[in-house]
Copies of this chain bind each other. A is one copy, B any other.
């Protein structure tokens, strides 16, 4: 049982454009867009047309590859100076996911090793952006393999937000073992939180699992604890936007509440993410910068105002789950259990 992989972001062979799936339009419409300008990619990241920590890393590297095409006629040093300025803007598109800054820094370091000319700089960045995508594909597969070993057969997995094929080059982080179980003919079903305010669980996770033939049940975010109290759940699988050196994990708002519910019900709570999500420079969760987004995401749903005009809202995009609530962190390098202390990379 397989299905065509989703490609949420793909750099063109000539490195002059990037094709994305506009995830704001799902599930109503499957729309792909071709972006030619760095600012269009930044906008796509900021508006969550492209989202998911690994995917926005790939998008960030692709944006740098597009930018480098403007400096093929200058010397390598001039190209690099300009690209570093652009990289600062790209990396700032969203502040919490470490993958974005990591990918931008990586292609700039690759570029810095080129001393010939701007054309060679551009070629090096394009090749590195492609490598980041290829590594991400392999990463998804490795996470799937490591996490699959933790699941019974059949298994019921609960997840939050979308850390699936729409969030990575491959079959996702949190959903990678789900797809692996399904492909292996195991019994697997998923309970997906709808994930307000932007409903990535209802719109994206349910869409891609249903498309792949994996049974999925959508619940509202408030139902996770009640579901655990009345049904058997074998594991919670979530992604991560940044993991501090001590294991504290920033992920989509609501992850922390779900971790508390899992703890109360003895359900193992796993964070699945590329090794690059671990930020050794951030000692613990309270040092993670949390992005706050516009009030209209909370005050309006599908264009309809649901909160009365003039009422305040609070809208952090992420929360921090303390390491103590995390059973294990599963990366492409394996299964990491508490204590999670990570040294410098």
Contacts and interface: CB of A to CB of B under 8 A. Distances in A.
Interface in A304-326: 304-308, 310-316, 319-320
Q: Classify chain A: how many residues form its interface, as a range.
A: 35 or more
Contact of A311 (B193, B206, B225, B303): B206
Interface stretch (A99-107, A121-129, A215-223, A238-246): A215-223
A298 interface: yes
B302 A306 contact: yes
Contact of A254 (B194, B218, B220, B306): B220
Contact of A257 (B194, B222, B319): B222
Contacts of A229: 256, 319-320
Contacts of A253: 220, 222-223, 226
B307 A206 contact: yes
A29 to B, nearest CB: 12
A196 B225 contact: no
- Grouping DSSP codes into helix (H, G, I), strand (E, B) and loop, the A interface class, with mixed when no group exceeds half, is mixed
Contacts of A199: 301, 306
Nearest to A206: B311
Contacts of A160: 222
Contacts of A260: 225, 257, 260-261, 264
A305 B202 CA distance: 10
Contact of A298 (B194, B298, B314): B194
Instruction: Output the residue of A199, A261, A313 with the most chain B CB within 10 A.
Output: A313
A226 B299 CA distance: 19
Given A226-B256, A227-B314, A261-B260, A308 B221 contact: no
Contact of A221 (B196, B202, B315, B316): B196
Nearest to A255: B222
Interface of A: 27-28, 160, 191, 193-197, 199, 202-203, 206-207, 210, 215-227, 229, 253-254, 256-258, 260-261, 264, 298-299, 301-308, 310-316, 319-320
